[in-house]
Amino acid sequence: MADGTPPPDPSGPDAVGPASAVRPFLVTAGRVAAGDDGRSMPVETQVVATAEGLDALDLLAFERHDIVAVCRLPQSLAEIAARLRLHLNVVRVLAEDLRDAGQLTVHVPDSDLVHDASVLRRVIEGLRAVPDSRGVPSDTD
Amino acid sequence: MTPTEPAAVPAARSAAVRPPLPVKMVISGGFGVGKTTTVGSISEIEPLTTEAAITEVAAGVDDLTHTPRKTTTTVAMDFGCLTIDPTLKLYLFGTPGQERFGFMWDDIVEGAVGGLVIVDTRRLDDCYAAVDYFEHKGIPFAVAVNAFDGRVEHTLEEVRWALDVTDGVPLLVFDARERGSVRDALLVVLELALARTQD
């Protein structure tokens, strides 16, 4: 036990899995997401593969391939990053590339709309309908 | 109206897949206070973890220039989601690293409709940074005492006094493990956000 056991991760128990051996800046060819005051896309921004993107899937490699493939169904930037174990900012940069190439559509949420009373009311109503518990698993489908 | 078309038509073949409008809420509080449990209780997916870059503003004593140092730290962030209807989806993001002061979560929080600050009454000071942050940003938030084992060590009035939050900030007791309890806590925040739109 004494040797070979890595010390506990000080950042807590939520290990993300083994870090990629490839540095993020290599994946993005040195580019970074806007960040700082350049207003990077919100983490909940929705991304969807286009038909062109799915058609071109075989021509895409590595992260680009994986991102288009995982976006067959709409995904947030955060979900893409988590599912593919990529840094969020890498996903931001590559998603913009793929959008520019017509392989993804990227839907930055309209902040005014999100904060609109009618939207908030719909979220409230939807949440109110959530039952107290998930019910008995597998029995009550 | 042909009933033969199955629902599983490849989505991207249709002209344009309209993704849902994402509505974001932030779950905040000190380390180990129950943020991920809270997200997991209401999320339709197992909480996911991703790495986000957080800007840490350090007013270091060893800083000879006496200007605040900004460093970027990569932290693990947990989140989940709940589909309200095909056009609307609620996202819940746990803010990481808030046990330390000086973090800037703008990258995660920007655009959030509200926040829930989770408190463990045995370690009240762990949530000061989160309370300060939401107050500073003007984001509607509520303080939720997580009743571990049904025990709360301080009354809500004591908590309010200790945290120095105004009467406008709802204070409640909840159980992060109970779906209905988490739902009700989030509803308090959303009602507050809704009330703000009508001011």
Is A135 inside a domain boundary?
no
The Cα A95–Cα B96 span in angstroms is: 24
In a domain, A107, yes or no: yes
How far is B41 from B182, CA to CA, in rounded Å?
A: 7
Residue A95, in any domain of the structure: yes
Supply the range of the domain harboring residue A91.
24-128
In a domain, A113, yes or no: yes
B106 interface with A at CB cutoff 8 Å: no
Question: Model confidence at A10, in pLDDT bands (50, 70, 90)?
Answer: very low
Q: What is the pLDDT of residue A2?
A: 44
A119 to chain B, minimum CA–CA distance in Å?
8
Question: In total, how many domains does chain A have?
Answer: 1
* Burial of A122 per CB tally in 10 Å (0-12, 13-18, 19+): middle
Query: Is residue B130 less than 8 Å (CB to CB) from chain A?
Result: no
ipTM comes to: 0.84
Average the pLDDT over each of A21-35, A119-133, B107-121, B128-142 and give the range with the smallest value.
A21-35
User: Mean pLDDT throughout B54-76?
Assistant: 61
A19-65 per-position pLDDT tens digit:
555 666 666 766 666 544 456 899 999 999 999 999 999 999 899 99
Stretch A113-131: mean pLDDT: 96
Interface contacts (A, B; CB < 8 Å)? 156
Q: Which candidate, A14, A88, A58, places its Cα nearest to that of B49?
A: A14
Domain membership of residue A13 (yes or no) is: no
Asked whether residue B100 carries a pLDDT value surpassing 70, the answer given is no
Flag if B190 and A131 touch (Cβ within 8 Å): no
Across the range B43-60, mean pLDDT stands at: 77
Closest Cβ opposite residue A46 in set B20, B36, B197: B20
- Contact criterion met (CB below 8 Å) for B126 and B32: no
Measuring CA to CA, which residue among B49, B47, B38 is closest to residue B96?
A: B49
Among candidate residues B134, B48, B44, B46, the one with its CA nearest the CA of residue B89 = B44
Q: Is residue A136 part of a domain?
A: no
Q: Above 60 in pLDDT, residue B60?
A: no
- For residue B104, the model assigns a pLDDT of 65
pLDDT exceeds cutoff 90 at B176: yes
Task: Kindly indicate the confidence band of residue B173, based on its pLDDT and cuts at 50, 70 and 90.
Answer: very high
Go through the domains of chain B in sequence order and give each one's CATH number. 20-197 (3.40.50.300)
pLDDT, average across residues B85-108: 78
